[in-house]
Chains A and B, each alone.
Chain A
Amino acid sequence: MKTIIAKYGTAITGLVILVVLILFARNFASSANMLNVLKNTSFLTILAVGFTFALITSELDLSFANIASLAAVVTGGMIYSGIAWPLAALAGLAVGLVAGYVNGLVVTVAKVPSLIATLGTASIAGGLAFMLTGGVAFVGRWDPVFLSLARGKVGPVPVLIFFMAAVVIAGWFVSRKTPLGVHMLATGEATEAAHRAGIATRRMKRIGLTLSGLAAGIAAVLLVASLSSAAPQMAGDYLLNAIAAVLLGMTMFEPGRPNIAGTFVGALIISVLDNGLVLLGAPYYLQDIMLGLIVIGSVSVSASVLKKAAFSV
């Protein structure tokens, strides 16, 4: 029983919140709202899955939100300049990928602790985003085909949900079912032992941070399509929420260990709370308070069972 509570306690509590909202929040349980919640979880989930990969290798990536903003600005700027959107989208993905790889190099080659390294790259990415935009968002009514990447629907289901599902499934598969995932996990759990066992731990850390950057690129392209614009800080608000989602995820399924399934449920809990509070007519500041409580609570629970030093850098 104790094991079940340790593994699934947070998810069960999430279910309790769900039931409360179904009972008290008008329209919460409608299919349209459920799809709305899932759609609004997608950006957060994609970014949080990337952060999870970095954390699996025991590295922190505090740059993903600014990298996503930079990738968004590059994508939006190219479309704004008349460049074909597929090229612009590829450029956005490339920005995320390269920025993530640079993070990996700085951490594994220059030996800068990831907390410091990614704070540095976050600052650089933020600066570049402002340099490219001059602080003014690229805005326009862009190619509907591009916008349909985020605004489109398959039947009643928003396309964004499929993107999110693809990222979660791919992330789960890579982390749980491939040798790469096992090596990354081993690197994060016990770097020295993994190294002695012949695992290329520095490469694993680079891959973890690169995947985080790639996820930022994916989220960025979809954000630009969703909002038909690109602003230099457009993904900034996701930093705290994505970290909170991952930390929440670490309290369930595999307590103390970053895991994709937990991250997805963590992101879902945050989105359900966001949505539920609005549907309940709760004051806007309650959302921030609840998020803060979740972060503190999840860190305290995670830290108590965490075996490695990711948070003590």
Chain B
Amino acid sequence: MTLKHLLAAGALALAGAHATTADAFELGIVAFQMSAETHARVANAAEAAAKEKGWDVTVLNSNGALPTHAEQIENLVQRGVDAIILAMSKPVQFDAQMEAVSDAGIPLITVMSGSSPYALFDIQVNEYAVGAEAALYLLGQLNYEGKILTQRFESNVGTRIRGKVLDVVLSENTAVEEVGSHSMARTQSWQDDVRNGMSALILQNAGNFDGIWASFDGQAFIIDDLLAEQGMSKGDVVLVSVDGGKETFRRIASPDSMLMASVAIPFEAMGAAAVEAIDRIAVGGEPVDAVASGPYLYMNAVLVDQSNVDEFTE
């Protein structure tokens, strides 16, 4: 098959891909990086909720690339969708694109992104409270005494806040010392970054730490596996993180995992809430204030440990 045949087949495939329902409400969803489970959970839940309402949905994945994200938002504006949801976007970087969405009269709701003057609102959990819960749980498990390692991520507003709150908690509880810290920098190959950084820290501090704080569960899974490779078992080290989800709950319940607790953020509920809000505002004509007052719509996060994990695994 030559390239020309290939492109011709592609053209036909494109024509075949055109299958929208006439006059149905059209929703565009852009997830910043679907390879990150949390982004995918928001996008997939929003897609499912929208389809349940009989809407046409276009889901896009920016693969963690800023220019791609910008282009995808612009392309959705050109498509003329009726509403847009952005999962884990970055309002400052995409100021111009969000303004274009607003100028086109398209309602925009962001999830876990931060506020933008061009969005109706951002659906968030209170990251300060989430950070405090995770930090205080970890310190509580250590009886407010001991040494910890931390795995941070500064490029995301939520994980950055969690890290800052941890620092505040540590500054007030000086008997707990942070003996090593790794900051995840690479977003596209982050698993390798975490694995390399934390395996070095774990080896360097072998036998000299009691707990590990991870800024999100994806990091915690990698750390958990590294600790298991070192022959550790549950209780040897207290591993605490944030996000929640099936795999998180499985590990918390498992006797083989070091993961003790996670603050579960309701990503699926956030995706569904974004769709529900658009339904009320863009379809039902309700004022934005009736759905959310101010730039944020806060949802509750719950700390999950062995005492209540059964409620989440059932």
Contacts and interface: CB of A to CB of B under 8 A. Distances in A.
Interface string B50-69: 00000011111101111110
A10 B2 CA distance: 10
Contact of B185 (A30, A232, A279, A285): A232
B76 interface: yes
A233 B188 contact: yes
Contact of A13 (B7, B183, B186): B7
B187 A233 contact: yes
A94 interface: no
Contacts of B4: 5, 9-10, 12-13
Given A135-B184, A297-B7, A284 B59 contact: yes
Contact of B17 (A32, A141, A227, A277): A277
Contacts of A139: 90, 92-93
Determine chain A's interface SS by DSSP, over half rule.
Answer: helix
Interface string A253-285: 000000000000000010001111111111111
Interface residues of B, number: 55
A117 interface: no
Interface in A16-46: 16-17, 20-21, 23-28, 30, 32-33, 36, 39-40, 43
B93 A227 contact: yes
A231 B156 CA distance: 12
Interface string B1-40: 1111011101111110111100000100000001000000
Contacts of A162: none
B203 to A, nearest CB: 22
A134 B78 contact: no
Contacts of B13: 286, 290
Contacts of A16: 7-8, 11
Nearest to A232: B185
A278 B10 contact: no
A32 B78 contact: yes
Given A24-B18, A135-B185, A297 B2 contact: yes
B78 A279 contact: yes
Interface of B: 1-4, 6-8, 10-15, 17-20, 26, 34, 56-61, 63-68, 70-72, 74-80, 90, 92-96, 154-155, 183-188
> Ordered nearest first, which 8 A-B pairs have the shortest CB separation?
A135-B185, A237-B65, A297-B3, A278-B75, A282-B17, A13-B7, A297-B6, A33-B78
Interface of A: 5, 9-10, 12-14, 16-17, 20-21, 23-28, 30, 32-33, 36, 39-40, 43, 130, 133-137, 139-141, 147, 151, 223, 226-229, 231-238, 248, 251, 269, 273-286, 290, 293-294, 297-298, 300-301
